[in-house]
Amino acid sequence: MSMNAKALSGGFAQPVFDAQAVFRLLMDGMSRPGTHQTVGTEIGQPSPLGEAAGAIALALCDADTPVWLQSSFAKSAVADWIAFHTGAAATQDKSEAKFAFKQAGAGLCSFDLFSLGTQEYPDRSTTIIIEVAAIGEGRSLVLSGPGIKDSATIKVTGLPEYFEEIWRGNRALFPRGVDVILTAGRTLVCLPRTTTIA
């Protein structure tokens, strides 16, 4: 398939109901950090974008939300696909982005360059979607905070060791800070800024 055809194909089969279903996964995930949510619909996203990451873009992005994409997506049809299906503008400026799509394999750095919100408007911060190798196997992370009864454990493969350090820095900024959604294929796990990783 040519690059153009890849960008134009796919999307939600039933935009209204699929968007609602994906949003409910995100709402359940954000309100219960650490729970696995599974995207149920085929969306025909171009690789290397994952199914869950693509579904998040379709459900939440539009002309009001500048999107930042990691450079590893540059040689693919991902940018064109998101632009065509959501109407969201791509931005190079991390601090302008409402949503950012990353691949953990390509290395993570501090979240400081993304929008962290202000003390007055902490909601004006970037939501970062990080694709990892696998969720449900690998290194254990113990989570606690609002939405979690006592504690929750998630297993993630492909997240660098220093993620905890970056996350601690993000947690310390509260109420400012970014919110993270980890994705692996169809699975997603939310890490709102309130979550502490032990």
- Kindly report the backbone phi and psi dihedral angles of residue 158, in degrees, each rounded to the nearest multiple of 5, phi listed first: 100, 0
User: In terms of Cα–Cα distance, which of 163, 99, 101 is closest to 127?
Assistant: 99
Dihedral over Cα of 196, 58, 46, 3: its sign: negative
Residue 32 binding other proteins, by CB under 8 A: yes
Taking CB under 8 A as the rule, which mask of x and - marks residues 78-97 in contact with other proteins?
Answer: --------------------
Q: How far apart are CA 157 and CA 167, in angstroms?
A: 17
From the CB of 21, what's the least distance to other proteins, in Å? Answer: 6
Binding-site member from 2, 120, 161, 172 for other proteins (CB under 8 A): 120
- Kindly report the backbone phi and psi dihedral angles of residue 113, in degrees, each rounded to the nearest multiple of 5, phi listed first: -80, -15
Binding-site member from 43, 156, 159, 179 for other proteins (CB under 8 A): 179
Q: How far apart are CA 98 and CA 114, in angstroms?
A: 9
Q: How far apart are CA 135 and CA 127, in angstroms?
A: 19
Q: Which is nearer to other proteins, 5 or 17 (CB)?
A: 17
Residue 136 binding other proteins, by CB under 8 A: no
From the CB of 11, what's the least distance to other proteins, in Å? Answer: 13
Q: Are 18 and 44 in contact (CB under 8 A)?
A: no
Residue 98 binding other proteins, by CB under 8 A: yes
Q: Are 108 and 76 in contact (CB under 8 A)?
A: no
From the CB of 15, what's the least distance to other proteins, in Å? Answer: 7
Q: Which parts of this chain interact with other proteins (CB under 8 A)? A: 14-17, 19-21, 23-24, 26-27, 30-32, 59-62, 64-65, 98, 118-123, 125, 127, 146-149, 174-175, 179, 192-194
